[in-house]
Amino acid sequence: MTDIFIENGRALADGEFTETSLRTTGLDIGPLDADHGRAALHIDASGLLVLPGIVDLHGDAFERQIMPRPGVDFPIDVALVDSDRQAISNGITTVFHATTWSWEPGLRSAENARKLLEAIEALRPQLAADTRFHLRHETYNLDAEAEIVEWLTEGRIDLFAFNDHMDGTIGDLARPKKRSRMVERTGLADEEFDRLVERVLSRADDVPASIARLAQAARESGVRMLSHDDNNPTTRQGFRAQGITIAEFPVNEETAREAAAAGDFIVFGAPNVVRGGSHTGWTRASDMIAKGLCSVLASDYFYPAPLLAAFRLAADGTLPLARAWDLISLAPARAAGLEDRGALAAGRRADIIIVDDRQPLRPRIIAVIAAGRLVHLADASRLVHSVAPRKAVAVV
């Protein structure tokens, strides 16, 4: 593997920006402020920021690559390769593909969940980002329990979330536009979908025990867990009691405050910050950040969002950029139990991005290094190859 030397950039290290040099040694970062050593590849980062790679705990934008329009499917391997390019070009070096396994057929079906997991496992060696499987389990999907326990036991799940969108599903049945999108996603006729919802609802009393069994299996397998859209402190407390210590998108401040008081990780969507509010009309993420009630930002449905959100927070004066960057790098790494990344320090995984920040709200990715490999370069003039002198060859 080619060692890389980055010089003249302003690197984020130990919570502040310092003009220093940085060298990779294999998969890892070498000592900061080092000379180029044996590095064969030099990058001139003059006037640029050098930052830890983004760690994205929850991204499901890949679904649009699989099904760009309702009923229009593309091969999952093609979708994942293209999603990898999107993630890397936006500075995401560790990506958790948030795969929903619902009781519905279609995009979020059992068949697609299995295919996605198999495709991620098969393609992982050739993808630029460290690509991981985040299973979002719809809690009413009781028939999936045994298979999910098996996946947890085998170590095939990297993050495990409990979702309950049943109330929203029932509410959307009376809203023609939302109902139409929901039904189209499943590929069912209207009457078939209604009957399916009735069957699923009839087993509601079995859901709590299923959650408890799955949470136990995840704990025993050492898999970090999230609860999604907690809507009150009691719900958050109940999940925490089962070892589910990541609160993903709490829907109100009261619930977020309960999570923060207990030391839970709290995830909000980076698109919420970029757009100035939630597309659902729920909690405004930038307000939660200002109040200390958000510890992680995720791409959610838009891969460019984490990068843009960090710079938006800095431009708005909500947080200094160094602290805003922690929300998309160091904190999510810790939440996922990945202690080898999220910071520029000797011995950490060499996930590094180089950014042109001359336009505060429109940062431009110049280069991305993932696990010590240069995987994205937008400005070749920054690249300098060091060529060792050739040995003289005697002519006989």
Interval 31-67: pLDDT, tens: 888 777 777 899 999 999 999 999 999 999 898 888 8
Percentage of the residues of the chain whose pLDDT score is greater than 70: 96
Report the range of poorest mean pLDDT among 129-138, 195-204, 224-233.
195-204
Above 70 in pLDDT, residue 387? Answer: no
pLDDT at 390 over 60: no
pLDDT in tens, 137-168: 999 999 999 999 999 999 999 999 999 988 77
Contacts 24+ apart (CB under 8 A), 384-387: 384/42, 384/43, 384/44, 385/40, 385/41, 385/42, 386/36, 386/39, 386/40, 386/41, 386/42
Write down the pLDDT at residue 280.
67
Query: What architecture is domain 54-164+202-335?
Result: Alpha-Beta Barrel (3.20)
Q: What's the whole-number mean pLDDT along residues 377-390?
A: 72
- Locate CATH 3.20.20.140 in the chain: 54-164+202-335
Mean pLDDT for the chain? 92
User: For residue range 18-30, what is the model confidence (pLDDT) as tens digits?
Assistant: 999 999 999 999 9
Residue with structure tokens 């990068």? 307
Examine the pLDDT at 388 and tell me if it is beyond 50. no
pLDDT of residue 100: 93
Q: Please write the tens of the pLDDT for every residue from 331-373.
A: 999 999 999 999 999 999 999 999 999 998 999 999 999 999 9
Residues 6+ apart with CB under 8 A from 254: 232, 233
Whether the pLDDT of residue 185 is over 80: the answer is no
Q: Convert the pLDDT of each residue in 266-324 to its tens digit.
A: 999 999 999 987 766 678 999 999 999 999 999 999 999 999 999 999 999 999 999 99
| Residues with Cβ within 8 Å of residue 260, at least 6 apart in sequence | 266, 292, 293
User: Where are the strands (E) in the chain, listed by range?
Assistant: 4-13, 16-25, 28-29, 41-44, 49-52, 54-59, 92-101, 130-138, 159-163, 224-228, 246-248, 265-269, 296-298, 352-356, 364-370, 373-377, 383-385
pLDDT bin (cut points 50, 70, 90) of residue 394 is: very low
Q: What is the pLDDT of residue 360?
A: 82
Query: Is the pLDDT at 111 greater than 50, yes or no?
Result: yes
- pLDDT of the residue at 40: 81
Closest of 130, 298, 132, 103 to residue 202, by C-alpha? 103
State the pTM of this model.
Answer: 0.92
- Mean pLDDT of all residues in 69-80: 87
Which residues, 6+ apart, have CB-to-CB distance to 126 below 8 Å? none
What is 4-52+344-385's CATH number? 2.30.40.10
How does residue 179 score in pLDDT terms, banded at 50, 70 and 90?
confident
Stretch(es) of the chain classified as CATH 2.30.40.10: 4-52+344-385
Confidence of residue 385 (pLDDT cuts 50, 70, 90): low
pLDDT of residue 138: 95
Across residues 62-73, what is the average pLDDT?
A: 83
pLDDT tens for each residue of 8-20: 999 999 999 999 9
Contact status, residue 74 vs residue 110, Cβ threshold 8 Å: no
